[in-house]
């Protein structure tokens, strides 16, 4: 199997393969043993970036948050040589309960220690603000991240779910106050959900040379073609989030995906990810896998080259 070519992740100094493994499923839809199998297969295929968050998977009854980070940390402990081969991305800011949320300096200082302990690592490669915090001045947040960078506890910082105005403001404050700037953005972006990123936010990322790693790159699984009716929602624990895609436009997108997939002898999910990867400014899509077979398909997607005709036909399904 050919080793994937690494891409610069914005100005972070990090280089990543053109696919980031999403850790949201670890401890949720797959247990620790299956998670280890997926992680091993991912690294063995030559890929190197794993994305998670402190809040994964707090939405599951009985979970407290930190389950995904804990599994990744256990995997790293069980495989000492793997730490040098992977980059660990995690996030802070989501609600962890009991007032533990947001981007205040005090919470970031506490949350990073919790994440480092769960992950069993000395430094987080990319530490991301999970959501904008309207209750905390951006200068306070960036100052807290600055301290972590100076302490060597994180190597780079990024933002997730920021709109164009929020990102512009954060970059401006960083410049004015001589604070570290966000070097990456993690937006929701896929063939169905395009309006939030395309346009001003995409242009800003390109102009400011931010690395962009997209989440929900397969629209919570809808773009795999697995869910084509409400009856299909029961196929997976993730099916509950599919209903919003079951629209005439969603049907049209699946129809075009089917056409292109047939031409390219690929799966619809592979085509959908290849389309994201081909868009201007995108460094890599994030996608999760619950089995080695699913992971093998994701790896194929990172190597699939769509023609100009393919890309145009897919893009013409409309934002």
Q: 14-27, pLDDT tens digit by residue?
A: 999 999 999 999 99
**Pick from 51-55, 280-284, 314-318: least confident:** 314-318
More confident residue, 240 or 228: 228
pLDDT band at 240 (very low <50, low <70, confident <90, very high): low
pLDDT band at 232 (very low <50, low <70, confident <90, very high): low
pLDDT band at 3 (very low <50, low <70, confident <90, very high): confident
User: What pLDDT does 234 receive?
Assistant: 63
CA distance 55 to 286: 17
The tens digit of pLDDT for each residue in 243-297 reads: 899 999 999 999 999 999 999 999 999 999 999 999 999 999 999 999 999 999 9
* Token pair of 234 as six digits: 């029961």
CATH of range 7-224+268-306; options 3.90.1150.10, 3.20.20.100, 3.40.50.1820, 3.60.15.10: 3.20.20.100
User: What pLDDT does 231 receive?
Assistant: 65
Check residue 73 and give left, alpha or beta (phi > 0: left; psi -120 to 50: alpha): alpha
Say if residue 237's pLDDT is above 70: no
Residue 56 bears catalytic tag: yes
The tens digit of pLDDT for each residue in 117-140 reads: 999 999 999 999 999 999 999 999
Residue 199's φ and ψ, nearest 5 degrees, are 105, -130
Percent of the chain with pLDDT over 70: 96
Say if residue 89's pLDDT is above 60: yes
Extended beta strands in 58-100, E state: 87-92
User: What pLDDT does 241 receive?
Assistant: 72
User: What pLDDT does 318 receive?
Assistant: 79
Q: Is the dihedral of CA 169, 173, 175, 180 positive or negative?
A: negative
Domain ranges of the chain: 7-224+268-306
The tens digit of pLDDT for each residue in 135-181 reads: 999 999 999 999 999 999 999 999 999 999 999 999 999 999 999 99
Say if residue 40's pLDDT is above 70: yes
Query: Are 127 and 119 contacting, i.e. CB atoms less than 8 angstroms apart?
Result: no
CA distance 214 to 117: 26
User: What pLDDT does 12 receive?
Assistant: 97
Query: Are 70 and 116 contacting, i.e. CB atoms less than 8 angstroms apart?
Result: no
Percent of the chain with pLDDT over 90: 91
Q: How far is CA 120 from the centre of its chain?
A: 21
Residues paired with residue 308 on neighbouring β-strands, in sequence order: none
Mean pLDDT in residue range 47-73: 96
User: What pLDDT does 7 receive?
Assistant: 96
Q: What is the mean pLDDT of the chain?
A: 95
The contacts of residue 22 (CB under 8 Å, 6+ apart) are: 51, 52, 215, 286, 287, 288
pLDDT band at 1 (very low <50, low <70, confident <90, very high): low
């Amino acid at each position: 199997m050919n080793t994937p070519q690494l891409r610069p992740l914005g100005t972070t100094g990090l280089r990543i393969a053109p696919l980031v493994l999403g850790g949201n499923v670890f401890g949720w839809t797959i247990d620790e043993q299956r998670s280890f199998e997926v992680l091993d297969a991912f690294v063995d295929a030559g890929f190197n970036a794993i994305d998670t968050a402190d809040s994964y998977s707090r939405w599951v009854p009985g979970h407290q948050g930190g389950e995904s980070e804990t599994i990744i940390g256990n995997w790293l402990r069980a495989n000492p040589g793997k730490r040098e081969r992977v980059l660990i991305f995690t996030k802070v800011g989501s609600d962890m309960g009991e007032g533990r949320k947001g981007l205040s300096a005090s919470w970031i200082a506490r949350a990073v220690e919790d994440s480092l302990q769960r992950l069993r690592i000395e430094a987080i490669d990319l530490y991301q603000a999970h959501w904008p915090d309207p209750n905390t001045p951006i200068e306070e947040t960036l100052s807290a991240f600055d301290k972590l960078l100076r302490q060597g506890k994180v190597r780079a910082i990024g933002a997730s779910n920021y709109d164009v105005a929020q990102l512009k403001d954060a970059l401006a404050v960083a410049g004015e106050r001589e604070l570290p700037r966000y070097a990456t953005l993690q937006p929701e972006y896929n063939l169905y959900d395009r309006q939030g990123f395309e346009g001003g936010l995409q242009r800003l990322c390109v102009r400011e040379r931010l690395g962009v790693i997209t989440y929900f790159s397969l629209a919570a699984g809808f773009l795999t073609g697995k869910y084509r009716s409400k009856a299909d929602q029961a196929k997976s624990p993730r099916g509950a989030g599919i209903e919003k895609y079951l629209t005439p436009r969603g049907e049209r997108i699946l129809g075009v995906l089917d056409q292109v997939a047939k031409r390219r002898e690929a799966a619809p999910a592979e085509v959908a990810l290849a389309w994201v990867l081909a868009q201007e400014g995108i460094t890599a899509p994030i996608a999760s896998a619950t089995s080695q077979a699913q992971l093998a398909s994701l790896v194929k997607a990172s190597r699939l080259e769509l023609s100009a005709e393919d890309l145009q036909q897919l893009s013409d399904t409309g934002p």
